[in-house]
Amino acid sequence: MKLNLLCVLVFVLSLVGCGTKKQILQSASIIKPVDILGRLDTFVPAVNLTLDSPIVILKPSVDTLPLDQRFSERILTPEEKVQEQKRTGIHKGADWTSAIHYDLRKPNFVIIHHTSQNSITQTIRTFQVEHSKVSAHYVIGRDGRVVQMLNDYERAWHAGRSKWGQITDMNSMSIGIELDNNGREPFPDPQINSLLLLLDTLKTKYTIPHTNFIGHADIAPTRKDDPNVFFPWKLLAERGFGVWYDESFLIQPPFNFNPVDALKIIGYDVSNEEAAIRAFKRKFIIKEVNGILTAYDRTVLYNIYKRYY
């Protein structure tokens, strides 16, 4: 019996060896060993092999899965994505020699958000799943817990489509801070106290101007309303973070005062005037948040314009 099996094996090998040495094995594909364990993220697309190819693990060509599901690309880690981005920043047509004087981006704004979620755990999870495509540098819980999720020098994805002054890429110039808040509730004292301490550190470390502490609604007035009307902008301004009006010195602006121009000079995108006015009133007027400037609203706007800009 053993002799018969040996003869059959020799016969089969002689058939495979017939023809040219470059004969193609049409039914083989390269896979990594972990493919056997069912790791879909490690498949490598099939390739044709020749008899003088290196030793490979063979996978039968018959597969019960649809063709578009047989292989899936491995998802790159954030670190690998950064390395790939750096690689594409090298111009192949130029000689390379490294300079020694450079650094990373320097944040010059702080953008404050509320999470519109129900817990800090939920927000952290949101910033760690692949499909969300959103992140922030810091998350502050209702109890004052501060969680840092990105290095200050890295570019978070928190601002989205936005504009402040002439800047249309706020992510590249800012630090994003998310406050655990469902969007309809006040901000607890421990949370605000932690925020103030963090803002003081950031302002000192990066010499961020006091006028550059703003909200998400300021830079995206047509899309966002955070932080909500309960956020204490007046308190922040008193501590040197952001602007506020002098309530004891409100006067009617001159007849030639243009409120839309004032909003634009402050930084608002006035391509949608009603949305810009609504964002301004949500922050400074708080009541009657709409797209119409009353006489009182104009005095507040004029005071801020003259005081800071």
Assess whether pLDDT exceeds 90 at residue 127.
Answer: yes
For residue 78, the model assigns a pLDDT of: 80
Looking at the domain assignment, is residue 233 inside a domain? yes
Whether the per-residue pLDDT at 74 is higher than 90: the answer is no
- The catalytic residue positions are 178
What proportions of the chain, in percent to the nearest 5, are helix, strand and coil?
35, 10, 55
* Mean pLDDT confidence for 271-285: 98
Given a cut of 50, is residue 168 above it in pLDDT? yes
> What confidence tier does 69 reach under pLDDT thresholds 50, 70, 90?
low
Dist CA 56 CA 62 (whole Å): 18
pLDDT of residue 1: 52
CA distance 306 to 65: 68
The pLDDT mean for the chain works out to: 84
Residue 130 and residue 211 in one domain: yes
Task: Give the chain's domain count.
Answer: 3
pLDDT computed for residue 80 by the predictor: 86
- 125-137 CB burial, b ≥16 within 10 A, e <16: ebbeeeeeeebbb
What global pTM score does this model have?
0.75
48 compared with 137, residue with greater pLDDT: 137
Residue 32: other Cβ atoms inside 10 A? 12
Residue 5 has pLDDT above 60, yes or no: no
Residue at 142 is within a domain: yes
Residues, the chain, total? 309
Q: With 50 as the cut, is the pLDDT of residue 303 above it?
A: yes
Domain hosting 225: range is 109-238
In the chain, what is the straight-line distance between the N-terminal and C-terminal CA atoms, in Å?
Answer: 98
Domain end: 238, 268, 285, which one? 238
The pLDDT-based confidence of 66 (bands split at 50, 70, 90) is low
Task: Give the mean model confidence (pLDDT) for residues 165-191.
Answer: 97
Q: How confident is the model at residue 72 (pLDDT cuts 50, 70, 90)?
A: low
Q: Which residue in 59, 55, 54 sits closest to 44, CA to CA?
A: 59
pLDDT digits (tens, 9 = 90+) for 210-244: 999 999 999 999 999 999 999 999 999 999 999 99
Model confidence at 12, pLDDT cuts 50, 70, 90, reads very low
pLDDT value for 256? 96
Q: Are residues 196 and 266 in the same domain?
A: no
Residue that finishes a domain, picked among 180, 204, 238 = 238
Indicate whether 157 and 119 sit together in one domain.
Answer: yes
More confident of the two residues 85 and 153:
153
pLDDT of residue 20: 42
**In this structure, are 267 and 152 located in the same domain?**
no
Condensed to tens digits (0 to 9), the pLDDT of residues 22-42 reads: 443 443 434 344 443 444 444
* Residue from 201, 174, 179, 210 nearest 192 by CA: 179
256-272 pLDDT, tens digit each: 999 999 999 999 999 99
Same domain for 208 and 138: yes
Percent of the chain residues past pLDDT 70, beyond the cut: 76
For residues 49 and 153, membership in a common domain is answered with no
Residue 75 is predicted with a pLDDT of: 81
CATH number of domain containing 174:
3.40.80.10
Quote the strand ranges of 182-285, DSSP E.
213-215
**What values do phi and psi take at 95, rounded to 5?**
-70, 150
Token pair for 38: 């069912």
Q: Is residue 232 part of a domain?
A: yes
C-alpha 268/C-alpha 281 separation (Å) is 12
Are 304 and 226 found together in one domain? no
